[in-house]
Structure 1
Amino acid sequence: MTKLKALTTSLMLLGLTACTIPGGHIEGVSAKDGATNSQSSEELDFDITEQVNTILITPNVLNSIKEREPSATQNQMLEQELQNYAYTVGAGDVLTVTVYDHPELTTPAGQFRDPEQAGNLVDAKGNMFYPYIGRIHVAGKSVEQIRVELTEKLSRYIENPQIDVKVAAYRSKRTYVTGAVSQPMVMPIANIPVTVLDAINQAGGISDDADWRSVILTRDSKEERLDLYALYQKGDMSQNRLLRHNDIVHVPHNDATKVFVMGEVSKAATLPIHRSGLTLAEALGNVGGFNEMTADASGIFVLRASTDANKVADVYQLDASNAAALILATQFHLQPMDLVYVTSAPIARWNKVISLLLPTVRGLDDLNDFENNL
Structure 2
Amino acid sequence: MTGPTAATRLVRWLVAAGVALLTGCGAAYVSPDVREAAGPVEVQVVPVTPVTLPRANAVPYRPRTLPAAFAALAGASGQWRGAGALPEAAVPPEEIPAPVSTRLPPRVEDAPYRLGVGDVLLVTGLPGAAPDQTGGAAPRARYTVQDDGSIAIPSVGRVAVVGRTIAEAEEELARALLEAGLDPAARLEVAEFRAHRAVVGGAVRAPRAVAIGLQRPTLAEVLAAAGGVEQVDERFAVVRLFRDGRLYEIPLSDIGHNASVAALPVLAGDVIFVDEGYDLERARAYFEQQIRLAELRQEVRARALAELEAEIGRRRAALEEARRNFLARVELDAVPRDHVYLAGEVAAQGRFALPFERQASLADALFGEGGVPTETGNPSQIYVLRAETADGSRVTAWHLDARNAANLVLATRFELRPNDVIFVAEQPITRWHRVLRQFVPALITSGVSAASN
> Which TM-score tier does this pair reach, normalised by the shorter chain?
0.3 to 0.5
TM-score (norm 2): 0.33
TM-score (norm 1): 0.40
Which structure is larger by alpha-carbon Rg, 1 or 2?
2
Which structure ranks higher in relative contact order (CA pairs < 8 Å, sequence separation ≥ 6)? 2
